[in-house]
Amino acid sequence: MKKIVFVGAGSVVFTQGLLADLAAFPELRGMRIALHDIDPERLQVAEAVARRITAGSATVTAHLDRREALDGADFVINMVQVGGYDATVTDFEIPARYGLRQTIADTIGAGGVFRALRTFPLLDALAADIGAVCPDALLLNYTNPMAMNVWYLSGKVRNVVGLCHSVYWTMRGLAELVEVPYEEISYVAAGVNHQAWVLRFERDGENLYPRLDSAADRDPELRRRVRIDMYRRLGHYPTETSEHSAEYVPWLMHHDSELDRLRIPVGEYLRVSEDNLAEYKRTRDLVRQGGELDLAGTDEYAPQIIHSIVTGTPRVVYGNVVNDGLISNLPQGCVVEVPCVVDATGVRPTAIGALPPQCAALNRTYASVNELTVRAALEGDPRHVRHALMIDPNTAASLTLDDIWRMADDLTRAHGDLLPEALRA
């Protein structure tokens, strides 16, 4: 049976959900699960959780050594957060000193750029290990910033797809708003990760967008959501939460009135991170005490992809892949999020054609931040780190050029050895 490796398995709650999804497929009984983390305590907890969830349906091994875990892998799930909570705090606190507001800070912006830069050395090592011991493995990446990481990995491993649940949960939410069962809707979305667009939203050929219009017209509080506001102005609904979406555009975060009008939660990811730490500790204590765990599945794409490839069951999922003509009005070679058909032959992205021009225009700015960040690492040029922040919509709208460069200097010093050596200046 196939071997599935979890890299960063110490993200115990996320690991727990993925394992529950995998264990729900009887066809995957007998799978081999290898867990890797550099934190011994977290790895021990993850192993205990995995053994309880799989309950004899899989063999589970735990490894502090990554290459040992990867040996012979068929699928590799990457969910590492380099630097953990402390690095996240740095990504918020230093920009805040300059007046730069962020909500999630994991995709573009100051937080996204520096999260990418401290993740790239890990990706180099991961790619080298995969090339040495499991070169044909499919790498399923969950680590943010998704688009930057997949772009960086694309020249280093044979098979990589970035996975995010934003499209799925967006469509679940939209179905609720228009009061149509999710199982009855059909949809197509495309763009870039955390800023894709719902291009088609239908039931039995009926366009459901007018129902969304009516819901927003009836409910003034609904109109105070960033995503509804963007949809009403741009004509297409964005596929990430309002707190995410707010920091990818230049119009909102710098204005107190907009923060209030659209209820934008500055610093939200710090609160989420604190909750995640508390949830990990709760799970750890439950494992030690022999308590009951939440074994509910999460409907994540990675288990579905593995099941489809192993069994030949066709599915459509949303994946982040290199733009090889998939979206014609976004740059060739950038990473885009599109529907992908999965079956025994693997993951096949779907060509979308051109996005609506207003949507593509926003995505091109996002892609430019990605490109400059990736180039900074590949070329060892710290100036491109500053260039990426100069282009970033929220940063450019909020700070002077001098403050952008000073902020980059401060973040570079603070993250220190976590960054690629050539970029520590």
- Give catalytic residues, as residue numbers: 165
The dihedral formed by the CA atoms of 243, 245, 249 and 251, expressed in degrees to the nearest 10: -50
Tokens 């750029």 sit on residue: 113
- Per-residue tokens: 183: 């199982």
384 has binding-site annotation: no
Select from 274, 300, 271, 318 the least CA-distant residue to 104.
Answer: 271
What are the C-alpha distances in Å from 2 to residues 5, 16, 61, 390?
10, 19, 14, 45
323: nearest Cα among 282, 369, 364: 364
Distance between CA 269 and CA 104 in Å, rounded?
A: 5
Q: What are the structure tokens assigned to 383, written together?
A: 């100036």
CA distance 49 to 44: 9
Q: Contact 298/15 with Cβ under 8 angstroms?
A: no
Contacts 24+ apart (CB under 8 A), 270-278: 270/88, 270/89, 270/92, 272/104, 273/85, 273/88, 274/85, 276/13, 277/85
CB atoms within 10 A of CB 108: 32
Residues in the chain: 425
Residue for token pair 């469509």: 171
- Residue 100 · residue 407 · CB < 8 Å: yes
H helices of 71-165, in order, are: 84-97, 109-133, 146-153
Using DSSP's 3-state secondary structure scheme, residue 164 falls into coil
Pairing of strands 335-343, 346-349: antiparallel
Question: Cα 309 from chain centroid?
Answer: 22
193 is an annotated ligand-binding site residue: no
Instruction: Calculate the CA 356 to chain-centre distance.
Output: 23
Residue 417 tokens, joined: 């050895």
What residues have CB less than 8 Å from 397, skipping those under 6 apart? 250, 251, 253, 254
Q: Does residue 134 have a known ligand-binding role?
A: no
Residue numbering of the annotated binding site for Mn(2+): 164, 194
- Going by the annotation, the residues of the binding site for substrate are 144
Query: What residues are designated binding site?
Result: 144, 164, 194
